[in-house]
Amino acid sequence: MRGPTTTILLAAALSIGGVMANPAYAAASAVTPERVCGPGFARVAHSKQAVKTPGKRVLGYVYLLYNRRTGYNCVTTFKTSDVGVSTFVMATITVQTRGTRPRVSGENEGRRVKHYLGPVKTYGKGRCVKYMGTIEDGGRGLTDAKSRWKSWGNCG
């Protein structure tokens, strides 16, 4: 027979081990980049890019997905640090144009983002895209961390 002390210790151990789930976090963790972008979108190979602070701490990831049927690209930024805490998050995608200057095709930003931001979609069949994600390092004195691709990705 368990006494009140055993029950309290068991509950504390389960809580520390992460077994007791916060309903808000459980719902947020069920969201994936594929669900955010919608049916037909799949991750582009090597497109998961870490969003890091200058000190190399990972705050989250920015994902690039593509829908072969429609020719649309989709970008979304997911937090892995400060999940559930409102911070600034941004996702941007740029399409390489036939002219001399690329143009920002889509951008979404939010100041009260708790888990993820997106989708940002743009047509890109037959063209290359660049994408970026930004996550504010909440309360730590840094303005933000960014993930940038310096070369064009997902050309097709």
**Distances, alpha carbon 88 to alpha carbons 70, 102, 143, 150, in Å:** 30, 25, 9, 23
For residue 139, report the phi and psi dihedrals to the nearest 5 degrees: 70, 15
The 10s digit of each residue's pLDDT in 87-122 is 889 888 888 776 656 565 777 666 788 899 899 999
* The pLDDT of residue 126: 83
Higher pLDDT, 136 or 65: 65
Q: Which of 19-23, 46-50, 63-67, 77-81 has the lowest mean pLDDT?
A: 19-23
Task: Answer yes or no: are the C-beta atoms of 75 and 154 closer than 8 Å.
Answer: no
Measured CA to CA, the distance from residue 48 to residue 50 in angstroms comes to 7
Nearest-CA neighbor of 120 among 145, 80, 90?
90
Q: What is the pLDDT of residue 152?
A: 63
Averaged pLDDT, 55-73: 92
pLDDT at 148 over 50: yes
Q: How many Å apart are CA 154 and CA 140, to the nearest integer?
A: 34
What is the pTM assigned to this prediction? 0.74
**Residue in the structure block whose two tokens are 């719902």:** 27
The SS3 of residue 16 is helix
The residue-averaged pLDDT of 10-32 equals: 48
Amino acid (1-letter code) at residue 117? L
> Which class would CATH give 33-148?
mainly beta
pLDDT band at 10 (very low <50, low <70, confident <90, very high): very low
Mean pLDDT of the chain: 75
Residue spans of the domains in the chain: they are: 1-30, 33-148
Q: Is the pLDDT of residue 4 over 60?
A: no
Please, where are the H alpha helices in 18-90?
23-29, 33-37
